[in-house]
Amino acid sequence: MSDKLFRLQCGYQNYDWGKIGSSSAVAQFAKNSDPSIEIDESKPYAELWMGTHPSVPSQAIGFNKTLRELITEEPKNLLGDAVIQKFGSSKELPFLFKVLSIEKVLSIQAHPDKKLGAQLHAQDPKNYPDDNHKPEMAIAVTDFEGFCGFKPVEQILETLQTVSQLRNIIGEEISEEFAKGIKCNATTGTEEDKTNRELIQKVFSKLMNTDDSTINEAAQSLVKASQEQPEIFAKLDARLPELIQRMNKQFPNDIGLFCGCLLLNHVNLNKGEAMFLQAKDPHAYICGDIIECMAASDNVVRAGFTPKFKDVKNLVEMLTYASEPVEKQKMTPKPFAKSHGDAKTSSLYDPPIEEFSVLQTVFDKTGGKQTFDAFDGPSIIIATNGSGTIQITGDDSTKQSVETGYVYFVAPNTAVELTASDLQKDGLTTYRAFVEV
């Protein structure tokens, strides 16, 4: 058995927002990887965790150890000196790789940057369990829906002018100040952009500091209006009346109906599309199956659609209040020079952070071989569709089978090749999270 390329058995989380039973990609992948797992058709299967996080550590098949334990024993071999020096740990990966299967909306949330993460952890370690930041990237495995970032200021203005329930909460004074003060199409970093952000913050702060009884009453009125006069909301976005009603069924009369449905971008990702969630930007996942990669942190500041702790003061103070259209939230895949061969596409999703990138490789049903030059850091690969084999390049003794849901660890400085079977309906799709300093 190679200690440079080996299979992982990954654990899962049964959070209540997950898809139920075998409808969940998480459940399907876990079961395919380990047939002894019995799927409970009454339970939600929300997240598959791939990595070294101590909460749900991945098991290294054949070693009788977790990946975290293996790395702790052989940090130079499995992380590499550059990664250890850069991220300061000789026992864990700087990223956590996940599959999420989402049936119900997750809480509207934002994550602190490194400086704020350290402050919050020092002040309140119960609610902020570490001192790190948590940038995230989501890639759609099935068609996906989410909230991501504030809408452009002109859309927020139109919403304030159209939806009386929101305007009543914000009040005439702030609504008028917003209308007169904003500048559409302001260039990032200019005084106009700074003013726009300050005005969005005023609106958001007023909303988030409104008492629960006022929100409850306004939310009932909002939902009723979306049912009785859907055309008013459809002028803003054809999807909005149905969205408000669907979110209300999941979280009745919640503040998220205002801060999510009315103020944030409603993003649809087609299979294979991706978005990056910057630190200090609000977002939420609504439904679908996604590959998610993030920095190894659990720090979350919540805003709505949650029964959990909401830290309104820190949330209002910390957000960037950037406001851009939906298309700006999506990531553009790039070619990747270390991947070459027969794959239909091998696309790099490279967010503007150091902890991770993700490589998506797709073969069509005719199969073929893709060779990956050695990466400078560790990586984890999951197959989300199809079958084939993987091996260290030039070493047939390391060849192992790849099936849907199988997960592999690849050590630094290890070239591998992936061969897709030509006996399948749709071809083979893999995602590979990695770090290179």
Is the entire prediction scored with pTM above 0.75? Answer: yes
**Residue that finishes a domain, picked among 280, 315, 331:** 331
SS3 345: strand
The answer to whether residue 19 is domain-embedded is: no
**Residue of 7, 68, 302, 432 with catalytic role:** 302
Regarding whether 373 and 306 lie in a shared domain, the answer is: no
Kindly report, residue by residue over 86-122, the tens digit of the pLDDT: 988 888 999 999 999 999 999 998 877 767 767 766 7
In a domain, 77, yes or no: no
Domain of 215?
108-331
Mean pLDDT, each 10-residue run in order, the chain (437 residues) = 89 96 97 96 97 92 95 95 91 94 93 73 69 78 94 97 98 97 93 97 96 97 98 97 98 96 96 87 94 79 83 87 86 94 96 92 94 97 96 96 97 97 86 95
Point out the domain boundary residue: 279, 301, 331: 331
Q: Is 283 labelled as part of a ligand binding site? A: yes
Neighbours of 421 (CB within 10 A): 18
Q: Is 109 among the annotated ligand-binding positions?
A: yes
Of 331, 365, 384, at which residue does a domain stop? 331
CATH code of the domain covering residue 346: 2.60.120.10
Under 8 Å CB-to-CB from 252, ≥6 apart: which residues? 219
Please report, for the domain that includes residue 177, its CATH number: 1.10.441.10
Residues 274 and 418 in one domain: no
Is residue 412 packed enough to be buried (19+ CB in 10 Å), middle (13-18) or exposed (0-12)?
buried
239 in active site: no
Which contiguous run of DSSP H or E holds residue 412? none
266 is in an annotated binding site: no
